[in-house]
Each structure stands twice: as C-alpha cells, then as structure tokens.
C-alpha cells in the first residue's frame, strides 16, 4: 500500500475523482510547493509555498493506474508529464509523513501561478468547471 497526496482533479467533487474510488481517505494535508494552472488541471512544482490537498492510501494496482492517468512513464522522466516523487506532509494529523505525489514535469513559462496553493478555491475564483 502507498500513501498518495492529491491536490487537483483527482479530489472528491472534481473531474477525475472516480480514479480514486476504492482508495482509503487518510485526511487533509499540505505539502511544500506551489501550483500552476496547466489548463484543465493544476501542476505542483517544488518551492517555498504550501499546497493543500488530501492523502489517500492506494494499492499497487491503483498507483500504477494513476501513473498512467498522470502521464508518468516509469523509468523515463523526460517522457513524463508528471513525475511521482516523495514529499513530506507539513501540517495536520499527517505532519511529518512521507507521501507520494505527482510533480509537474514540463516547462511552466506562460502558465498562471495559483499563489494560494488551493486548486478548489482557484477554480471557484476563475469560474472554471472541474
């Protein structure tokens, strides 16, 4: 089993939430980094801010399926849109825990920063459907 931090369209109520069915919800969390608006979804980048989301426990099979959903090509970072990495939860009940997350792996020139790190709030602010 693997603990996975999600911060975008995989979250409940958003476009790809069905991909998380069967996963065990462990709780809300924030991890270091910042978000950019990639179009129909956000991208997490390394940085000084905090990104809000949720942590779930997923099986090997579900993690492999999520890798495909996130366009991660195992063993080939250059071919991957997102790369799965370990990050440390910064606050809440899961503070200090190491979890997997998907980090955006493409150029960010021209992408809009989501400065507050909350994708749900951002899509409400810009009036976008999830």
Q: Write out pLDDT tens, residues 51-105.
A: 999 999 999 999 999 999 999 998 999 999 999 999 999 988 889 999 999 999 9
Distance from C-alpha of 12 to C-alpha of 18, rounded to nearest angstrom: 8
Q: Which residue has the tokens 């990495």?
A: 85
Print the domain residue range for 54: 2-126
Cβ(37)–Cβ(119) below 8 Å:
no
pLDDT for 130 equals 61
Burial class (CB in 10 A: 0-12, 13-18, 19+), 4: buried
Q: What 3-state class would DSSP assign to 105?
A: coil
Q: Specify the higher pLDDT residue, 36 or 74.
A: 36
Region 44-50: what's the mean pLDDT? Answer: 94
Query: CATH code at 62?
Result: 3.10.490.10
Q: What 3-state class would DSSP assign to 79?
A: helix
Residue 43, Cα to own-chain centre: how many angstroms? 7
Distance from C-alpha of 56 to C-alpha of 12, rounded to nearest angstrom: 11
Tell me the CA distances in angstroms from 45 to 34, 57, 117, one per residue in order. 5, 22, 10
- Mean pLDDT across the chain, nearest whole number? 94
pLDDT for 24 equals 96
Number of structural domains found in the chain: 1
């Amino acid at each position: 089993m693997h603990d996975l931090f999600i911060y975008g369209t995989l979250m409940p109520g958003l476009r790809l939430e069905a991909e998380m069915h069967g996963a065990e919800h462990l709780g809300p969390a924030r991890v270091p980094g910042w978000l950019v608006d990639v179009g129909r979804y956000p991208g997490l980048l390394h940085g000084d801010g905090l990104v809000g989301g949720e942590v779930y426990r997923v099986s090997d099979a579900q993690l492999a399926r999520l890798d495909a959903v996130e366009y991660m090509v195992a063993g080939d970072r250059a071919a991957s849109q997102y790369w799965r990495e370990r990050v440390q939860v910064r606050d809440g009940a899961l503070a200090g825990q190491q979890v997997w997350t998907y980090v955006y792996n493409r150029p960010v020139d021209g992408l809009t920063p989501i400065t507050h790190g909350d994708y749900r709030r951002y899509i409400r602010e810009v009036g976008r459907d999830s």
